[in-house]
Amino acid sequence: MTYHNILIEDQDGIIILTINRPKSLNALSWDTLEEIKYFFAEDGPSRKGIKGVIITGSGDRAFIAGADIKEFLDLKAKDGAVLAKRGQDIFFSIERFYVPVIAAVNGFALGGGCELAMACHMRIAGEHAKFGQPEVNLGLIPGYGGTQRLIQYIGKTKATEYTLTGDLFDAQEAYRLGLVNYVVSPGEEVSKAKEIIKKTATKGPIAIQKAIEAINAYFEEGVDGFEAEVKRFGETTNTDDFREGATAFIEKRKANFSGS
Among 222, 236, 243, 122, residue whose Cα is nearest residue 180:
122
Task: Tell which of 183, 200, 217 closes a domain.
Answer: 200
Judge if 51 and 99 occupy the same domain: yes
Judge if 82 and 210 occupy the same domain: no
Query: By the 8 A CB rule, do 29 and 71 touch?
Result: yes
Q: Is the pLDDT of residue 45 over 70?
A: yes
Q: Can 115 be counted among the known catalytic residues?
A: yes
Q: Which residues contact 196 (CB under 8 A, 6 or more apart)?
A: 52, 100, 102, 122, 124, 181
Alpha-carbon distance of 164 to 199, in angstroms, equals 38
Domain boundaries, position 177: 6-200
The pLDDT-based confidence of 85 (bands split at 50, 70, 90) is very high
Give the active site residue among 9, 135, 189, 244. Answer: 135
Judge if 97 and 226 occupy the same domain: no
Q: Which of 18-27, 71-80, 144-153 has the lowest average pLDDT?
A: 71-80
Judge if 89 and 172 occupy the same domain: yes
Judge if 195 and 210 occupy the same domain: no
Judge if 126 and 106 occupy the same domain: yes
Q: Is the pLDDT of residue 97 over 70?
A: yes
Mean pLDDT of 170-192: 98
What's the chain's average pLDDT?
95
Q: What is the pLDDT of residue 251?
A: 96
The pLDDT-based confidence of 67 (bands split at 50, 70, 90) is confident
The pLDDT-based confidence of 249 (bands split at 50, 70, 90) is very high
pLDDT digits (tens, 9 = 90+) for 117-175: 999 999 999 999 999 999 999 999 999 999 999 999 999 999 999 999 999 999 999 99
Judge if 171 and 209 occupy the same domain: no
Judge if 107 and 232 occupy the same domain: no
Give the active site residue among 95, 115, 127, 220. Answer: 115
Let me know if 217 is exposed, middle or buried by CB neighbors in 10 A (0-12, 13-18, 19+): middle
Percentage, residues of the chain above pLDDT 90:
91
Q: Is the pLDDT of residue 200 over 70?
A: yes
Angle at 209 between CA 30 and CA 7, to 5 degrees: 35
Q: What is the pLDDT of residue 78?
A: 67
Mean pLDDT of 85-95: 97
Q: Which of 42-51, 64-73, 127-136, 246-255 has the lowest average pLDDT?
A: 64-73
Q: Can 235 be counted among the known catalytic residues?
A: no
Task: Tell which of 179, 200, 221 closes a domain.
Answer: 200
Query: By the 8 A CB rule, do 36 and 92 touch?
Result: no
**Residue 132: what are its φ and ψ, rounded to 5°?**
170, 160
- Please report whether residue 16 resides in a domain: yes
- Please report whether residue 258 resides in a domain: no
- Please report whether residue 260 resides in a domain: no
Judge if 140 and 230 occupy the same domain: no
Mean pLDDT of 197-203: 98
| Dihedral sign, Cα of residue 123, residue 88, residue 36, residue 96 | positive
- Please report whether residue 256 resides in a domain: no
Q: What is the pLDDT of residue 79?
A: 84
Total tally of structural domains belonging to the chain: 2
- Domain CATH for 53: 3.90.226.10
Provide the whole-model pTM. Answer: 0.96
Q: Is the pLDDT of residue 75 over 80?
A: no
